[in-house]
Structure 1
Amino acid sequence: MNAPSSATPRPRTNRCLACWCVAAGALALVGLSFWSLDLQWAQFVSAPALARMGRFLAELLRPETSPQFLHKLLGATLETLAMSALGTLLAVLLGLALALPASKAFDGDPARWRGATRLVLNGLRSIPELVWATLLLIAAGLGPFAGTLALALHTSGVLGRLFAEAIENAPSGPGFALRVRGVAGSRVFLYATLPQMLPQLLSYTLYRWENNIRAAAVLGVVGAGGLGQMLAFHMGLFQMGETSSVLVAMLLLVALVDALSFASRRWLAA
């Protein structure tokens, strides 16, 4: 009778040993990273380097506020907001369309296209937005159109994978009750699965919208328009006042999306 109780600690011991091995491997990887990289800490904290960084920050603390520049900044801000919003919207539609065949909605679901669709999602999100924009600029030319499509393609790969996981993790009871009554699969998704995953869908979408605002700044390096193009131009000329104003505009956009995310979560929880 006592044999099972004496054997029960073994799985727990194995799990603890595995955790310690993972932690030791992570620490070893961090140590090897410090050893292999040429990190010149002494030069980084030297007096000349600190003085240069101080001058740089002092220039950034004096943003450009002339009416002519602010008018141009407002146009670029609205363009970036439109790029990120439209790119995210297209990514939601494409990601949700790909998430359905990429997920196994219930036990016994054959999910014949699951592997192939997940491979497509992996390909979309493994290519950075900057590479997508560079490729699309060849076809669409300079401007926000290529940037919007680049954001949509990369984000659809990210959201598609997240949506597929949300579909698979949704409680199966409501869907099962509809399927046993002969309800079609599309109606099961609309009336059982989608309402349960809607809070997650909205949260993921708003989070990626916030990321896309920052990504739009990177796309400006290749001429995709918006605040990013202004940021690349003024930083290239070392115009720190104009650069500071562009950074403040980006910060306000991110804060706006964060406030919308907070308000939407409170509205869904009410």
Structure 2
Amino acid sequence: AIGAWETLAMSALGTALAAAAGLALALPASRLHSADAAWSRTPTRWVLNALRSIPELVWAALLLISAGLGPFAGTLALAFHTTGVLGRLFAEAIENAPPGPGEALRVQGVGNVRVFFYATLPQVLPQLMSYTLYRWENNIRAAAVLGVVGAGGLGQLLAFHMGLFQMNKTATILGAMLLMVAVVDASSHGARRLLTR
């Protein structure tokens, strides 16, 4: 039970951190309007590409050296990789938002920050939430795998019992993984359908 909660907490916290960091990086990584020079767009996208090009397992292996064994390293590994993925998806969503409401505010002399919060964000928020929930589904599976390299959760228990050839306990852990992934997938799918209505 503790392993399942650890896996769930790793995936949820890692995804939440990635969503916040991804949104913060998506703004400089996107052209907010047609007249925007967007000087930071290319370097920020390089950063996002670098973050997502390194798989979670590699991030976990690197972070285990500095952060030590346990769920903290796994959470950070998920956060780093997912920041790259969500940052790029968020930037694309922001750039593809219908420009009309933002242009109408700019004509009135409203600044970029307020235009983003009052015109762009309300239009793209359901899409951003949908992307975040989908990545949480993926991170549940990734969190279970990360435990195999010592990053806590069900994966660590799985590696331990498989190493001792305790197949009955291994089967129980695999069953718990399948059940948890199915529950999160179903709830996330339902939430995404509500958001995109």
Counterpart position of 1:182: 109
Counterpart position of 1:106: 33
**In the alignment, structure 1 residue 218 sits paired with structure 2 residue 145:** yes
Indicate the structure (1 or 2) with the bigger Cα radius of gyration: 1
Counterpart position of 2:90: 163
Match of 1:84 among 11, 18, 42: 11
Counterpart position of 1:148: 75
CA distance in 2, matches of 1:227, 1:193: 40
Stretch moving more, 253-262 or 130-139 = 253-262
**In the alignment, structure 1 residue 264 sits paired with structure 2 residue 191:** yes
8 A contact 1:92–1:205 mirrored in 2? yes
Match of 2:154 among 223, 227, 230: 227
Deviations 1:63-103 (A, max 9, x none): xxxxxxxxxxx110001100000000000000000000001
Match of 1:203 among 130, 139, 142: 130
Aligned ranges for residues 65-76 of structure 1 at < 5 Å?
74-76=1-3
8 A contact 1:206–1:257 mirrored in 2? no
CA distance in 2, matches of 1:200, 1:258: 17
CA RMSD of aligned residues (A): 1.3
Residue-pair matches, total: 197
CA distance in 2, matches of 1:135, 1:210: 24
8 A contact 1:102–1:114 mirrored in 2? yes
Alpha-carbon shift at residue 200 of structure 1 (Å): 1.1
Stretch moving more, 79-88 or 236-245 = 236-245
Structure 1 unaligned blocks of 5 or more: 1-73
SS at match of 1:78: helix
CA distance in 1, matches of 2:19, 2:136: 10
8 A contact 1:88–1:209 mirrored in 2? yes
Alpha-carbon shift at residue 237 of structure 1 (Å): 2.5
8 A contact 2:130–2:195 mirrored in 1? no
Flag as ranges the 4+ runs of structure 1 deviating above 6 A: none
Instruction: State TM-score, norm by structure 1.
Output: 0.70
Letter in 2 for 1:248: G
Letter in 2 for 1:264: A
Alpha-carbon shift at residue 259 of structure 1 (Å): 2.3
Alpha-carbon shift at residue 154 of structure 1 (Å): 0.4
CA distance in 1, matches of 2:192, 2:48: 27
Alpha-carbon shift at residue 188 of structure 1 (Å): 1.0
8 A contact 1:147–1:216 mirrored in 2? yes
Alpha-carbon shift at residue 196 of structure 1 (Å): 1.1
Instruction: State TM-score, norm by structure 2.
Output: 0.95
CA distance in 1, matches of 2:60, 2:195: 35
The verdict on how the C-alpha distance between 1:238 and 1:225 changes in structure 2, with shifts beyond 3 A counting, is same
